Amino acid sequence: MAAIRKAGFRLSKIERQEALVGVVFILPFLILYVIFNFLPILQGFWISLHNWDVIGTNVRFVGLRNYEILFSKDKLFWSSLEHTLFFALLAGPGLIVTGLALALMLNQRVRGIGIFRTIFYMPNILSVTVVGLVFARVFAPGERGFVNAVLSSIGLEPIAWFLDEANAMPTIAITKVWWSVGFNMLIFLAGLQEISQSLYDAAKVDGGGRWSLFRHITLPGLRRPMLFVIVLQLIASVQVFPLIDVLTGGGPAGSTRPLVMYLFERSFDYWQLGYGSAIAFVMFVFLFSISIIQLWFFSRGEGN
Amino acid sequence: MESVPSINQLGAQQAEREKQQTRRNLAITAAMSLFAFIWLIPIAWTLSLSFRPEDSITANLTLLLPVPFTAENYDFVFSSSRIPRWFLNSLIVASLRTFLQLMVCSLAAYSFARVRFPFRQTVFYFVLIGLMVPGQATFIPVYLLFSNLKLLNSFPALIVPGIASPFAVFLLVQFFKGIPIELEEAARLDGASRIGVYWRIFLPLSTPVLTALAIFTFLGTWNEYLWPLVAATDPEVMTITIGLTNLTATTYTANYGETMAAAWTAGLPIVGFFFVFQKRIISGIQISSGIK
């Protein structure tokens, strides 16, 4: 029976009704999904094969020419890629180490510890513009910023945080850690609570010190949350844009301009939508690959 | 025999250990309090700025308490800026998108979880691909679509593209699969239709996960940046997250009190929202990450 059904899709009346209901139920979702998530990827690639200079007019097919220029001649593309990686290198480890440290401190049976969890997580829900407006003042140059005012009150020179090419990206990374480390903390906390206390008790009987407990029980026990956080961080870092846009606008002198900002400028300041789409497609391929590797990794872990 | 401690000694050891534990807890709490205080300085300071007159700010920048206190900066924000309007726009866009997303995605998820139809698994995998598509891979074609429809700078442009969320469907399918099939069969025997089962059994039983999803979609939409930046350039339809960028964060010479009043008019309701729903937000993050 099943074989026949499978071969010819010959469904009984009831099955046909059931199938109809099933399809009708997914239809609203599926239509929106195809229009706004799926087709735009293909369209994006199609647009990237053109010189699409002004909206709807002056469209010319150029094949892979945009990609050729992008990879071989475009210095701004490479420099914005560099800035993106620099941001990932600064913010990534900062977010992971700080998140883990906070989680370890908060994973104690002390009364009122929930308040701290709330405090460290709270910045995460603020919108990027609020964070931007706040930290532009916290790290304002001269005597107008909070940190500089504190520095000068203890006799130190003020620092040009966002206005100095050498300091701008690290200051952005510090802001990023303040803003979103709470999320990592929650993930690590959940992971820590999954590690059985009996493992620690057994190791203590064997005379394990604090560091050895951390090294041999806590860290291996956090393998899954660690991987989860690293991959998420990597994906988020490659897409970094809003925070930098509100803090420095890519400056000073373009020294913090990330990839997405470059894509945005090409597309909506210069209206080179074909070229912008090529950048977008390169990013898509990269991020999609990371996701596939992650999926493969996690599903393999599940099998064990 | 010497090595066996007496009962008195045991009691003393126990008391000593408890004392140590208490001291350790106190030390931890003190360290955490200090750290938490530093963590809150950016919020406390700028919030205080928003309630201080400008000349007092210039005289003493780092004050964490608003003395002397004034509400003038907020008067300015509410009377002579577009911020109330942007706030309302954000509320409309985030609420409508959240509601529509929950409806559309839960209906699809019910179908994927419980209704048999041809190619169900294939279509589901096709939807899961969407989990791996970043927003900036799609926003240029979507922009062109709305531009051709002459629908840029409209609420539909801000709401509709975010309704079909592969993540929401994925999360809800997982949850729906855990609902006992007997419940559904019993209701069907009593003559309930598919839509009746979905509406009267699945939705009520999924309140926790639907609430968590609603909170995340609402916050995510409220804080969205890239898409509304290109889709809504007209100040009349801007969301508050985008509208506030007009106060350009990098203008350090601007009036501190008014700028911060604007920032916290946008930020405080979200902070309040967080305190109301914080338990659900925190457990929601931990559940949806699959770690717990």
Mean pLDDT of chain B: 88
Task: For residue A302, give the chain B residue with the closest CA.
Answer: B290
Same domain for B239 and B123, yes or no, is yes
pTM: 0.89
From chain A, the residues in CB contact with B256 under 8 A are 137
Contact B250 A56 (CB under 8 A): no
CATH code of the domain covering residue A292 = 1.10.3720.10
Domain boundary among B42, B70, B98: B70
Same domain for B226 and B90, yes or no, is yes
Residue B117 structure tokens? 């139809």
Q: How far apart are CA A281 and CA A266, in angstroms?
A: 14
Same domain for A40 and A109, yes or no, is no
Evaluate if residue B251 carries a pLDDT over 60.
no
Same domain for B66 and B95, yes or no, is no
Same domain for B41 and B170, yes or no, is no
* Residue A146, domain member (yes or no): no
Same domain for A172 and A28, yes or no, is no
E strand intervals along chain A: 50-54, 57-61
Torsion A44-A49-A51-A57 (CA) sign: negative
Q: Which residue has the higher pLDDT, A216 or B2?
A: A216
Contact B123 A26 (CB under 8 A): yes
* Residue B192, domain member (yes or no): yes
Q: How far apart are CA B284 and CA A34, in angstroms?
A: 28
Q: How far apart are CA A202 and CA A55, in angstroms?
A: 68
Same domain for B60 and B108, yes or no, is no
ipTM computed for the complex: 0.87
Same domain for A243 and A289, yes or no, is yes
* Residue A6, domain member (yes or no): no
* Residue B15, domain member (yes or no): yes
pLDDT band with cut points at 50, 70 and 90 for residue B140: very high
Same domain for A29 and A53, yes or no, is yes
* Residue A143, domain member (yes or no): no
Same domain for B225 and B272, yes or no, is yes
**Distance, in angstroms, between A73 CA and closest chain B CA?**
22
User: How many domains is chain A built from?
Assistant: 2
Full domain range(s) for residue A278? 75-127+168-303
Same domain for A46 and A121, yes or no, is no
Same domain for B61 and B88, yes or no, is no
From chain A, the residues in CB contact with B145 under 8 A are 35, 40
Same domain for B166 and B91, yes or no, is yes
SS3 B186: helix
Residue A131 pLDDT: 95
The partner residue sitting opposite B266, judged by closest CB among A116, A130, A264, is A130
A–B CB contacts, 8 A cutoff, strictly below:
289
Q: Which residue has the higher pLDDT, B217 or A11?
A: B217
Task: For residue A28, give the chain B residue with the closest CA.
Answer: B104
Residue A54 pLDDT: 65
Same domain for A292 and A213, yes or no, is yes
pLDDT band with cut points at 50, 70 and 90 for residue B111: very high
Same domain for B235 and B129, yes or no, is yes
Same domain for B115 and B190, yes or no, is yes
From chain A, the residues in CB contact with B46 under 8 A are 133-134, 137-138
Residue B137 structure tokens? 């891979």
Question: Is residue B251 left, alpha or beta, with left meaning phi > 0 and alpha meaning psi from -120 to 50?
Answer: beta
Q: How far apart are CA A256 and CA B97, in angstroms?
A: 33
Full domain range(s) for residue B250? 78-288
Q: How far apart are CA B26 and CA A120, in angstroms?
A: 19
Q: Which segment of A26-30, B8-12, B113-117 scores lowest on mean pLDDT?
A: B8-12
From chain B, the residues in CB contact with A30 under 8 A are 108, 123, 127, 164
Residue A114 structure tokens? 């929930």
SS3 A52: strand
Contact B138 A288 (CB under 8 A): no
Interhelix angle for B256-288 vs B7-50, to 10°? 140
pLDDT (tens, 9 = 90+) of chain A, 304 residues, equals 444 445 455 678 888 888 999 999 999 999 999 999 999 999 999 999 988 876 666 788 888 999 999 999 999 999 999 999 999 999 999 999 999 999 998 888 777 788 899 999 999 999 999 999 999 999 998 888 999 999 998 989 889 999 999 999 999 999 999 999 999 999 999 999 888 888 888 887 877 778 888 888 888 889 889 988 998 899 899 999 999 999 999 989 999 999 999 999 999 988 899 999 999 999 999 999 988 888 887 776 554 4
Q: Which residue has the higher pLDDT, B95 or A228?
A: B95
E strand intervals along B55-191: none
Q: How many CB atoms lie within 10 A of CB B125?
A: 10
Could you tell me which of A127, A95, A82, A122 has the C-alpha nearest to residue A243? A127
For residues B243-261, one letter each, b for 16 or more C-beta atoms within 10 angstroms of the residue's C-beta and e for the rest, the string is bbbebebbebeebbbbbbb
A299 interfaces chain B, CB cutoff of 8 Å: no
Residue B285 structure tokens? 């993050």
From chain A, the residues in CB contact with B126 under 8 A are 38
Residue A28 pLDDT: 97
pLDDT band with cut points at 50, 70 and 90 for residue B288: confident
Instruction: Answer yes or no: are the C-beta atoms of A283 and A234 closer than 8 Å.
Output: no
C-alpha separations of B272 from A125, B95, B197, B275, B281 in Å: 11, 16, 36, 5, 13
* Residue A174, domain member (yes or no): yes
Task: For residue A263, give the chain B residue with the closest CA.
Answer: B136
Evaluate if residue B216 carries a pLDDT over 50.
yes
Domain boundary among A26, A43, A66: A66
Same domain for B135 and B231, yes or no, is yes
Q: Which residue has the higher pLDDT, B4 or B58?
A: B58
Q: How far apart are CA B222 and CA B216, in angstroms?
A: 10
From chain B, the residues in CB contact with A106 under 8 A are 32
* Residue B265, domain member (yes or no): yes
Amino acid, single-letter form, for residue A272: Q
Evaluate if residue B231 carries a pLDDT over 70.
yes
A3 interfaces chain B, CB cutoff of 8 Å: no
* Residue A1, domain member (yes or no): no
Q: Give residues 142 to 171 of A whose Cβ lies within 8 Å of B.
A: 142-146, 149-150, 153, 162
From chain A, the residues in CB contact with B135 under 8 A are 239
Contact B140 A191 (CB under 8 A): no
